[in-house]
């Protein structure tokens, strides 16, 4: 697996002139790199397919709305979000914000936003049943 520790170990092996072990580690890192490249290609294909299925491949401008400095996506099933406005501005990525105590945090860029910005939803009015019956003479 590719990690910073593996590269530190590789540097130390080369400094100590252990070229055979360094070569083995380098080949292992190369194999890990190729595995990650294949996984990345597969994930990019999945993202592209999902964007196409959701109709996001033609652009987000008509589906995305900014409200209270946060990004919301209008879908057939209602308003989804909030999404990170920093990531959307940087590379058109819709990264959903996660609640972290009193804040909303982007898991990608780690930007923080006030959590008080919730979408306005219509709420049902609950009427006491007995008073409603009396009102209508039931």
Question: Alpha-carbon distance 66 to 61, whole Å?
Answer: 11
Answer yes or no: do 50 and 88 share one domain: no
Answer yes or no: do 37 and 78 share one domain: no
> Residue 110 domain-assigned?
yes
Is residue 7 over pLDDT 60? yes
Question: Alpha-carbon distance 117 to 41, whole Å?
Answer: 36
More confident residue, 133 or 25: 25
Using CA of residue 91, residue 94, residue 97, residue 98, what is the dihedral sign?
A: negative
> Residue 119 domain-assigned?
no
pTM over 0.85: no
* Enclosing domain of residue 22: 4-54
Answer yes or no: do 41 and 20 share one domain: yes
Helices (H), 55-128: 85-91
Are 93 and 47 in contact, with CB atoms under 8 Å apart? no
Is residue 126 over pLDDT 70? no
> Residue 73 domain-assigned?
yes
Is residue 16 over pLDDT 90? yes
Answer yes or no: do 29 and 11 share one domain: yes
* pLDDT given at position 18: 94
* pLDDT given at position 63: 78
Answer yes or no: do 68 and 110 share one domain: yes
* pLDDT given at position 2: 83
> Residue 121 domain-assigned?
no
> Residue 120 domain-assigned?
no
> Residue 40 domain-assigned?
yes
> Residue 13 domain-assigned?
yes
List, for residues 45-70, the tens digit of each pLDDT value: 998 888 777 766 666 667 788 888 89
* pLDDT given at position 89: 87
Between helix 4-15 and helix 19-54 the angle, nearest 10°, is 160
Answer yes or no: do 11 and 50 share one domain: yes
> Residue 31 domain-assigned?
yes
pLDDT average, residue stretch 7-29: 94
DSSP, residue by residue, 58-69:
T-STTTEEEETT
Question: Alpha-carbon distance 108 to 11, whole Å?
Answer: 30
Answer yes or no: do 79 and 101 share one domain: yes
Answer yes or no: do 100 and 72 share one domain: yes
Is residue 79 over pLDDT 80? yes
How many domains is the chain partitioned into structurally? 2
């Amino acid at each position: 697996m590719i990690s910073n520790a593996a590269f530190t170990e590789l540097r130390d092996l080369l400094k100590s002139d252990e070229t055979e072990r360094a070569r083995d580690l380098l080949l292992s890192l190369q194999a890990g790199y190729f595995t990650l490249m294949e996984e990345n290609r597969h994930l990019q294909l999945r993202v592209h397919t999902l964007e196409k299925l959701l109709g996001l491949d033609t652009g987000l401008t008509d589906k995305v709305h900014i409200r209270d400095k946060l990004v919301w996506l209008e879908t057939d099933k209602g308003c989804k979000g909030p999404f990170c406005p920093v990531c959307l501005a940087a590379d058109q990525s819709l990264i959903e914000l996660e609640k972290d105590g009193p804040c909303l945090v982007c898991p990608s860029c780690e930007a923080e936003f006030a959590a008080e910005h919730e979408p306005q939803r219509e709420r049902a009015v609950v009427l006491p049943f007995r008073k409603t019956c009396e009102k209508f003479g039931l």
